[in-house]
Amino acid sequence: SSSSSSSSSSSRSNIPSSTIGGAWKPLPSVSDLLSLEKDIDLLNEKAIKSRLIPLIIQHTIAATTTTTTAAAATTTTAKNEEDGANKCKEEEEEETKKLIESGMEDIISQINEARRRCISCISSRVSRDCLAFITVGVPRIKLKYSMTGETAPKVPSSYVSSVLEPLKKHLLLAAAAAEGKGVDKEEDLQQQQQQQRGGGTGGANVCCRWLADAVIASVCSKYVVTAKELLQVVAKTEAILSRLKKNKKQQASTASSSSSSSSSQSMSDADKIRLQLQLDITAFASQVRVLLGSNYRLKELEDLEQLIMTKK
């Protein structure tokens, strides 16, 4: 029984979960959260103020008008005059509007906060999936070229093509949710992805730009940090090797001098790493603009591109 309980707990640990009221519950999928965000967005501040509040006011005033009229008929005050009654009615209607609008402000605030939290959760989870490729792929560049004799790179690293795949997938799901469609099978999603390759995601520019911007910003910021760390390590290693070569230069023989002369004409490991990083970032930026448009601009993306421009 102990082994079965331990296997059950280990299987649970692999599923995103939360503890609410002491009970274990699995977290909703990103696709479920996208559908929820769409539903919350329908109850936005503009819709509430332009549709819901006027409707409540209309029904409230209609219900209170009968009571007010009946009360006015039994009083013997100056309100029996028509002008006075109309003025009193207008004041009551205005007061009713203020009360209802004031009461709805808290509801609007709670709806906006719910959507903000939903967006934050979606963005962070999609960003995490994208960043997994960068945090693994970038450090491997150094392993590939440090004292391995690998030739100079000519194409981007293989990890680059995978970075935006989680974002593309969820932009398609968001576009389908916005159109009232569902993607029931993995095959259907793959088919949509194939149709969209080379031509953007369609829905990215309209219904879910907030998701694209948030994820691209997060990915680019982390990309900059990871790339800078790599460049710093490369610079330190290069400085150490340079000092070692300088110390050995006085003892070099004719044969070693000849060898040194030929090796100096080839690209150093540090330069290979820098070139690979430049190819990778250039390819990534290109993929972003294929996905979101050639005129797409974002500060974090520009910061990333500036990094390789200063390191050329």
Q: Is the pLDDT of residue 243 over 70?
A: yes
Phi/psi region, residue 16 (left: phi>0; alpha: psi -120 to 50; beta: rest), is beta
Q: How far is residue 172 CA from its own chain's centroid?
A: 14
Report residue 261's pLDDT band, with 50, 70 and 90 as the boundaries: very low
Say how far apart CA 211 and CA 170 lie, in whole Å: 9
Q: Which residue has the higher pLDDT, 142 or 264?
A: 142
- Contacts by 69-77, CB closer than 8 A, 24 or more apart: none
Q: Which of 167, 224, 173 is nearest to 38 (CA)?
A: 173
Non-local CB neighbours of 78 within 8 Å, separated by 6+ positions:
84
Give me the chain's average pLDDT, please. 76
Question: Does 101 score more than 70 pLDDT?
Answer: yes
Question: What does the pLDDT average to over 154-163?
Answer: 96
Q: What integer is the mean pLDDT of 134-153? A: 93
What pLDDT score was predicted for residue 17?
54
Q: What average pLDDT does this structure show over 223-247?
A: 90
DSSP character string of 31-49? HHHHHHHHHHHHT-HHHII
Coil vs helix vs strand at 293: coil
More confident residue, 258 or 59: 59
- Work out the percent of the chain whose per-residue pLDDT is above 70: 64
* pLDDT, tens only, 28-42: 888 888 877 877 777
Alpha carbons within 13 A on the beta-carbon side of 155: 5
| Least confident window among 77-91, 111-125, 237-251 | 77-91
pLDDT tens for 175-224 read 877 776 555 444 454 554 455 444 444 434 445 788 999 999 999 999 99
As given in the structure block, the two tokens for residue 92 are: 């009551």
Which tokens sit at 299? 């500060």
Identify which of 202, 163, 142, 174 has the alpha carbon closest to the alpha carbon of residue 285. 163
Cα–Cα distances in Å, from 26 out to 18, 71, 223, 224, 242? Answer: 6, 57, 30, 33, 55
Could you tell me which residue, 276 or 201, shows the higher pLDDT? 276
Question: Is residue 218 within 8 Å of residue 127, measured between CB atoms?
Answer: yes
Q: What is the mean pLDDT of residues 134-163?
A: 94
At residue 271 the predicted structure's pLDDT band, cuts being 50, 70 and 90, is very high
pLDDT at residue number 145: 93
Most confident of 35-44, 264-273, 295-304: 295-304
| Alpha-carbon span 18 to 199, nearest angstrom | 38
